[in-house]
Structure formats: C-alpha cells, structure tokens
Chain A
Amino acid sequence: MKIPGLPRITGWHPIATTLILAGAMAAFARFNYGLGATTNLSDEFPWGLWIGFDFLGIGLAASGFTIVAAVNLFHAKEYEPIVRPAILTAFIGYLLVVLVLIIDLGRPDHFWHPLVMWNPHSVMCEISWCLMLYTTVLSLEFAPIVLEKLNIVSPIKWIHAISLPLMIFGVLLSTLHQSSFGSLYLIVPNRLHALWYTPLLPVLFFISCIASGISMVILESLIFARGGRDLLPTPLRANLAKIIAVALAVYVVVRVQDLLTRGALRELTALTYYSLAFYAELLIGFVIPFAMLLMERVRTSRRGLYAATLLVVVGFAFNRMNTAITGLEHYPAQTYFPSLIEVFITLGITAVGFSAFSLIVKHLPIFEPMVAGPRPRKEVVTGRPEPIFISREGGDLESR
C-alpha cells in the first residue's frame, strides 16, 4: 500500500487523534466521577446513547455473518474478495460494542459476572453470551489473516478443521442476538411507544440488520473502489443491492402490517414528535432506498448505490435510536439528551474503530488474493475454509 513520493496531507489524522484523546479524557472522567456526574442518564432514563450505539454497531457489523453465510454456506464464491473486509468490519464492530458496554456498566469491574452467574430468563444474559461467543468466533475467523502475515501455519490448519461448524455457529449466534436486541424491549410494553413496541421486535430487528449489514458491505466496497481497489464488479454489487431491496420490502410490509393489526396506525394521523420520528425512520431508511434500489440505473451506478445504501444505514440508525431513546421518552414523560461526555466517549470509540480499520487494512493481508507470492500451499494458508473441503471431497471423488 506504499505510494511513492510524499504522503497526502489529510484532515483525517488530526481529527481522529483529537476525537480519541477527547474520548479518553471523557472515559477517565466517567470512571473517576461515576455515571451520575458525567452522563444524563437517570432513574427514569437508565439507558441512553451508549445502548443506541451498541445497537448500531452490532447492526452494521451484521455484514460479517451475512457475507460469511453467503460465500461459505450458500456458496456465492464470487463474493469471496469481500469476505475478509466484512469479517474485519464485524470484528472491530463487536470489540467496540463490548468496550462501550463495559463503559456503560455501573460496575465495569464486574463485567465478567455473566460468565459465571447465569439467568436463562434474561435476554441480557443471552445477549452477553452471544456477544462473547460470537466475538470469539470472529476472532477465530480473523486469526488466519494475522497468522498468515506472521507466517505461522500450524494453527491455521487447526482453525480450518473446525471452520464449517464455526461458521454455522457464528451465523446462528448472530441470528439470535441480532434479534435479541429487539427482545430486550419486549418487557416494556407500558413504556415503549406503540409505534415501536411490538411482539415482533426481534423479527424486525433481524430483518433490518440484514439490510444494514449488506449496505455496509456495499458502502465499504464503494469506498475501497474510490481508493483504486475495486473488490466487487458492478453486477455483483447490483445483486447485493437486490437482496437489500428484498429485505427492505419485507421489513416495510411486516412493520406496517403489524402497526395495522395492533391498531397503532392512528398514532400516525397527527404530526407529533413521535410520528415525525417514525416517518423519518421509515421513509429515509426503508421506503426511499427501496424505491431507489428498484431501479437498475441506481443498482449499477456507484453514486446511486452509495446514496441508497447510505440512506439505509442512516435510517437504520434512526430506527435503533428511536427504539432505544425516542420511543421511551413518552412514559413516564421525560426527555433525554446525551451529555457531552457521553458524546465524546462515543465519538472517541468510533474514531478508534475507523483508525483500527485503516491501520489493519494497511498492515494485514485483507485484500490479498487467495494465493500470492511465496506463501505455502493454498489449502494451508489462506484462512479460507473452502479449499480444505474441496480437497477432502476431491479425495472422495478419487477413491470412488
């Protein structure tokens, strides 16, 4: 990735450094003075921006499991080049979410308790376990990339041997906790506004994470493409866009149908704070990008696709923030706006994520083709599960 000549001067580094430093100081304050002095959280509003960030991070990191499933389980091998970037995105996303969760805990020093103290009736317990296990799965899926760089071959073999069950497990864990983030709110029917509370919350969270996860993949590939590294040919990106359109359509149908059957549509007849938030979310994140993605012209144009997937991601953020914050403001009547320290910590951690991504992309073989240079045999080294299965099956072919 070295470009001859002087490096370009960009605004990114100073901004990222500032954000990370500010975030670190804010985090220092949070640990020293406690949540009360540094956040706008209260007994009436015990969860705020950070929970919203977790929803967002996990939803966008859904790129990991969707692409792994598509390529390695559904055999859409043409998307292979995007697998590693997707796994990296997911891995960083999950690590950041775990970090934010720990900062958010009143007793960060007790963060390990869910490991040994279980309550199977708690959605939170299920989510903690899914997060821990799936982060482990992701680190195993990511490990071959590091090992490959360091030229340590034997553990890669070992990871290969378990890669199929590992991937299936990862997809299942993702399915579970992506939806469970919605289940968290099943228990507050009296608190969450009728426009967001529904028994279908887990289903809706799952469908929307597929749209947002794949949108993230497309966005990433478009950003790489701008940097001169086109990982996915236009037709493949257009196909992914079709899947997003389907997910968006299913989401809108289920969501509106659900509002209809619960009689919550009447909440939309007047323009209130809540109905406006709902319209914003549904139009920006679902209806408009769906309409855009129906057009071949948009699906095959970089700019069009960029706009559409960005809308999906923004609308997704709206949806999660509305569920986590807006929808809870009406009972008991209250408002919540995050404190500066909450905002700084969130921005700082986001900056850590982006910096980590660009560093890793620079130093690890994220974009490497499967076989390159003097590295040992493909089956051993790529970190991809598929070759070893081919060779195993190939063996079967010959023995028959």
Chain B
Amino acid sequence: MNAPSAPRKIRIATATLGGCFGCHMSLLDIDERLLALVEIAEFDRSPLTDIKHCGPGVDIGLIEGALCNAENVHVLREFRANCKFLVAVGACAINGGLPAQRNRFDVGDILKKVYSDAPDGRSRVPNDPELPLLLDKVYPIHDVVRVDYFIPGCPPSGDALWKFLTDLIGGRTPRLDYPQFHFD
C-alpha cells in the first residue's frame, strides 16, 4: 500500500480486555500484509510484543474486549492516556458483546453460583488481591473513556482491519467497504 515516508514509524498498541483474542487473530489474518505494516509501524504494548505497559506517544491504540473487571479499567485508562487515537475493535469493545450476556444477572449471584455452591457449602469466592474484582456489569469501552474510532465485527475480518489501518495511517477518514461491515 501507499506507505508514507514518515520520519518515524507509526506506533501501534493493542490489548484484549474481556475478549476472546479473536480480534487479535484477525489482525494476524492480514497475513503477508503484516510485513508491509511493520515497514511503517512498530508495536508498543501488545500480546504480539509482550510489552507490559502502553508507553507515551502511541499513535493508534486498538482495544479488543469489554470492561469486565478492575484490571480492564486500568488498561483502558492507560491506553486512553497514551494513545492519540483509541479504537474499539470488535463487538465486545463496542457493545459488551458476549461477556455482557451476564448483565441480566446480579454479579454477586454469579460469584456465589460459581464459587460458593460447593458441596460442603463453604464460601470460596477468592480474596487474593492479585485477582481483579468483577464490575457489577460488563460495559462497552465508550461508557468509560472517549473512543475515537470503532471497527465492528465478531471479529472484524483481517481485510476490515487492514482497510481501517491503511485509511487512518494514510490520512483518510477510515471507512469500511460493504462486505467488510459486519456485526457478527
């Protein structure tokens, strides 16, 4: 594609909150175009790099997954603070998706059901401070931070992600072609 001869590479960060990594798999689905992408971009925090924190000066932050727990909120805030453009990728980030199907239940009832209904009747809801606590509901990310762009799909196809990224990097308003526009 028409890679701009930028003085520095575009920095991209990615993260999965409450999601299935399907959107990240789609990112890998751009296949050999990954090579073209790394010509013009480098990855900051991402499951692809294993960098643990999103550093300052990131151009594009891609967020997959919904907000399910306290850690998700910390990661999202870190991305919002460090990314020029924050992008909600996939159904979960955009409207809660599959994780949000728990919203019809009280989170306390869910925890009790999962951890307390042991045969001996003892409560086993874990209290380890290392474990992030669940939010009362699952939230789409735009309920908590401002989001600049949305790429729908479950997951969005590799083509959709490629079209979006090349549009954005190329300075065009990102726009998906009809066959790339999917909520499923």
Do chains A and B interact in one complex? Answer: no
Interface residues of B (CB under 8 A from A): none
Interface residues of A (CB under 8 A from B): none
